[in-house]
Structure 1
Amino acid sequence: MRILLLSQFYPPVIGGEERHVRNLGAALAQRGHDVSVGTLQRPGSPETELDGAVRVHRLRGTLQRLSGLHADPERRHAPPFPDPELALALKRLIDRERPDVVHAHNWIYASLLPLKALSGARFVVTLHDYGLVCAKKNLMHLGTELCNGPAPAKCLPCAARHYGAAKAVATTFGNWVSSFAARRIVDRFIAVSHAVADHTGLTSGNTPYEVIPNFVPDDVEVPGPQDPCLRELPDGDFILFVGDMMRLKGIDVLLKAYTGLKQPPPLVLIGRRLADTPTEFPPNVRTFSAWPHSAIMHAWRRSLFGVLPSTGPEACATVIMEAMACGKTVVATDIGGMPDLIDPGETGLLVPPGDAPALTGAMQALLDDRALLARLEATGLTRVGRLKAQAVVSRIEQVYRDVVLAAPAEVAMAAYRNSGRPSCR
């Protein structure tokens, strides 16, 4: 098949979603598909290039030109409503690539909605977050509590606190309109966890969807020499956290829980510092940022176990898969997509979000009972196969086959319905 992947960002801009799209493109190409990627233009990057066997096209949108709209100049996001210039660029790209399936990730899908009938391609959208119903994408009302569903009186003040009033109105209403249209136009949604499917309303509606997680490559061996930054890691055991050092990731809960441990090994934090990152850390806590992915994978292999104490509903935490693929267990919170990835008491441990004493108890249990830790690691290493490319990409391929094979039947049904309508003459 000819497959066009759409992603608002693509390496060298890197994150969990971008890595997923890149890995998906490479895996599909290895399976014999003709794969191209459409992504937003980035200063200094060529308009067209080859990433292995995958053709990468960088497209410009009108809102990208308005630098004042974006807090991070490296990440000028696609809007949740059609961008005229981006839509035109997508039309040209589709005419050039002639895909059988367009598979979009994140809000870039909104600029394709007006083109669906003209493209002739089937349209698949993966939901990596809660952006189908939440203008902030994280489903946290006012940043403090899990939202129980969208409503104007709730969404606008919440979005305004995050974006400012003007951007909040455009983002919230634009997202509602695009979401309404997408549920009628998209051929198949893929939700990366049951939490995403549930909170975005897919489980209670008639929109076709599948729950398929992100994945890690089949071969997770870390190639090449170790990065010099690894010399900064502790020589012995250490607990590892990987992610943005922010309250939504539970960083304050983790630090409080860590201080309650008895004779703990060092705690290593690797991730970006943000506005709400703590300014002070307990003794024996080491913080690092901007590490290359290969170095992070080396760090996982050298760690004792991992911890991901998010207080928000993580959609599908790739960091858990990477830890498991490296033979490490994770203590995580029982929220969002985490229960999809961890079988509590078998491959890892789950604790209530925001509960520092429970997190302390779970970490202490692994420190005190190395037999338990070894059992969790062994079971996790066995079961992580269901989260690797061979298993997951096959499921995505089946979605492509299903929507392509459904097309002739839908066209025939439409013709049948039309044949029964009275003539306008």
Structure 2
Amino acid sequence: MRILLLSQFYPPVIGGEERHVRNLGAALAQRGHHVSVGTLMHPGSPETELDGAVRVHRLRGTLQRLSGLHIDPERRHAPPFPDPELVLALKRLVAREQPDIVHAHNWIYASFLPLKSQSGARLVVTLHDYGLVCAKKNFMHLGTNLCSGPAPAKCLPCATAHYGAMKAAGITSSNWASSFAARRLVDRFIAVSHSVARHTGLTPGRYEVIPNFVPDDVGVLGPEDPGLREELPAGGFILFVGDMMRLKGIRVLLQAYASLLQAPQLVLIGRRVADTPTEFPPNVRVLGAWPHSAIMHAWRRSLFGVLPSIGPEACATVIMEAMASGKAVVATDAGGMPDLVDHGETGLLVPPGDAHALADAMQTLLGDRALLARLGATSLARVGRLKAGAVVTRIEQVYRDVLRPATRSAAPTQQGAGEPSCQ
């Protein structure tokens, strides 16, 4: 098959979604498909380059030129509506690549919708978050409570608090319009968790629940950076990896950790953001954003991981990476995390925002090393279902389904009882 992956960002811009698209492209190419990527231009990167067997095309968009619209100049997002310049660039790219499948990730799909019918390609869209119905993508109302569902009277004030009035009106209204068009034009949605499928209101028969994945060799460690190794505690430690923000539960984690008895050090690896705490309890080691290879070494040396998000995390790859390192994870029973963590088997689940329950779970693992070892061993045994070898096969099947006229109008085979759904 000729496959065109669309992603608003691509390495050297690195995040969970970008890593997923890169790994997917590499895995598909390894299986003999012709794979190319269309992504937004990044300063200092070439317009066209080969990333292994995958040809990467960096495209310019009109909104990219308006730097004042973007909070982070390094991450100028695709808008939830057809960007005029990006639509033209995609038209040229489709004419050049002649894809059978266009597989879009995030809001960049909106700039392909006007081209869909004339392109002749089938369109698959992976929903890595709640952006189909939520202008902020996180499905949290006013940043504090799980949203009960989209409605104009709720969405506009919520988006205004996040973006400001002018941007909120444009983003919210255009997202509604693009979402309506997408539900008619997209041949198949892939939701990365049951939570995403449920909260975005996907139509039965029009979607599959397929998790993100980690490479088959994710557990094979490369050389360790001596400088970064020295920043880690000599003994075992509790590890948090991610943006140090309120929605990731960082404040709840610090409160819970402060109440632990005889606890080892807590290591935090990730970006500092606007709401990152400025003070930390004793014995907390705060590190910056590390290279992925160094993070995998940190997982291997840790006791267990903790991901106490208070929002409905869509599909946290960090849990898969912990599992691939043979580590248990304490996570919240929210979003896509119950799809990944089997409570009492590969980790422990606690209610979001509950510092006492989080502390109890961490104390349990610290006090019962036999339980900790059993959870870690089971995690390692089950992570194979979340590796490329298993997950990419399911994505290929989606491609085949939408390319077969006889099956496009029929409901896809739903996920079986024994199949994993999310990271």
Q: TM-score, normalised by structure 1?
A: 0.95
**Code of the aligned partner of 2:26:** A
Deviation of the 1:207 alpha carbon: 6.0
1:296 alignment counterpart: 295
Deviation of the 1:224 alpha carbon: 2.8
Give 3-state SS (helix, strand or coil) of 1:331's partner.
strand
Deviation of the 1:290 alpha carbon: 2.2
CA distance in 2, matches of 1:364, 1:409: 51
2:356 alignment counterpart: 357
**Code of the aligned partner of 2:28:** L
Give 3-state SS (helix, strand or coil) of 1:273's partner.
coil
CA distance in 2, matches of 1:110, 1:409: 21
CA distance in 1, matches of 2:403, 2:30: 20
Deviation of the 1:136 alpha carbon: 0.1
Map 1:164-243 onto structure 2 (within 5 A).
Answer: 164-202=164-202, 205-206=203-204, 208-220=206-218, 221-243=220-242
Deviation of the 1:237 alpha carbon: 1.1
Structure 1 position 328 matched with structure 2 position 344: no
> What are the Cα deviations for residues 296-343 of structure 1, in whole angstroms up to 9, with x where unaligned?
010000000000000000000000000000111100000000000010
Give 3-state SS (helix, strand or coil) of 2:222's partner.
coil
Map 1:2-401 onto structure 2 (within 5 A).
Answer: 2-202=2-202, 205-206=203-204, 208-220=206-218, 221-401=220-400
Give 3-state SS (helix, strand or coil) of 1:201's partner.
coil
Deviation of the 1:230 alpha carbon: 1.8
CA distance in 2, matches of 1:57, 1:26: 15
CA distance in 2, matches of 1:299, 1:179: 40
CA distance in 2, matches of 1:231, 1:386: 34
CA distance in 1, matches of 2:405, 2:87: 26
1:207/1:159 CA distance change after superposition, 3 Å: farther
Give 3-state SS (helix, strand or coil) of 2:404's partner.
helix
- Percent identity at matched positions? 81
Q: TM-score, normalised by structure 2?
A: 0.95
Name the structure, 1 or 2, with higher relative contact order (CA <8 Å, separation 6+). Answer: 2
Give 3-state SS (helix, strand or coil) of 2:376's partner.
helix
CA distance in 2, matches of 1:196, 1:282: 34
**Code of the aligned partner of 1:311:** I
CA RMSD of aligned residues (A): 1.1
> What are the Cα deviations for residues 104-141 of structure 1, in whole angstroms up to 9, with x where unaligned?
00000000011100100000000000000000000000
**Code of the aligned partner of 1:174:** S
**Code of the aligned partner of 2:372:** L
- Any conservation in 1 of the 2:402–2:408 contact (CA below 8 Å)? no
Deviation of the 1:407 alpha carbon: 7.4
Give 3-state SS (helix, strand or coil) of 1:240's partner.
strand
Deviation of the 1:225 alpha carbon: 3.6
CA distance in 1, matches of 2:13, 2:407: 39
> What are the Cα deviations for residues 138-184 of structure 1, in whole angstroms up to 9, with x where unaligned?
00000000001001111001101111100000000000000000000
1:417 alignment counterpart: none
Deviation of the 1:231 alpha carbon: 0.8
- Any conservation in 1 of the 2:107–2:131 contact (CA below 8 Å)? yes
1:266/1:119 CA distance change after superposition, 3 Å: same
**Code of the aligned partner of 1:17:** E
CA distance in 1, matches of 2:255, 2:226: 31
- Any conservation in 2 of the 1:188–1:209 contact (CA below 8 Å)? yes
- Any conservation in 2 of the 1:11–1:19 contact (CA below 8 Å)? yes
- Any conservation in 2 of the 1:314–1:336 contact (CA below 8 Å)? yes
**Code of the aligned partner of 2:64:** Q
CA distance in 2, matches of 1:405, 1:103: 16
- 5+ residue gaps, structure 1: 411-425
CA distance in 2, matches of 1:206, 1:268: 42
Moved over 4 A (4+): 407-410
Deviation of the 1:222 alpha carbon: 2.0
> What are the Cα deviations for residues 173-213 of structure 1, in whole angstroms up to 9, with x where unaligned?
000000000000000000000000000001xx356000000
Deviation of the 1:253 alpha carbon: 0.3
CA distance in 2, matches of 1:213, 1:104: 15
Give 3-state SS (helix, strand or coil) of 1:349's partner.
strand
Give 3-state SS (helix, strand or coil) of 1:376's partner.
helix
Give 3-state SS (helix, strand or coil) of 2:244's partner.
coil
1:354/1:374 CA distance change after superposition, 3 Å: same
**Code of the aligned partner of 1:210:** E
**Code of the aligned partner of 2:325:** C
CA distance in 2, matches of 1:207, 1:140: 27
**Code of the aligned partner of 2:187:** D
Give 3-state SS (helix, strand or coil) of 2:112's partner.
helix
1:241/1:373 CA distance change after superposition, 3 Å: same
CA distance in 2, matches of 1:173, 1:407: 36
**Code of the aligned partner of 1:357:** H
2:415 alignment counterpart: none
> What are the Cα deviations for residues 346-380 of structure 1, in whole angstroms up to 9, with x where unaligned?
01000000000000000000000000001101111
1:239/1:225 CA distance change after superposition, 3 Å: closer
CA distance in 2, matches of 1:316, 1:303: 22
**Code of the aligned partner of 1:156:** L
1:350/1:409 CA distance change after superposition, 3 Å: closer
Q: Give the aligned length.
A: 408
1:407/1:91 CA distance change after superposition, 3 Å: farther
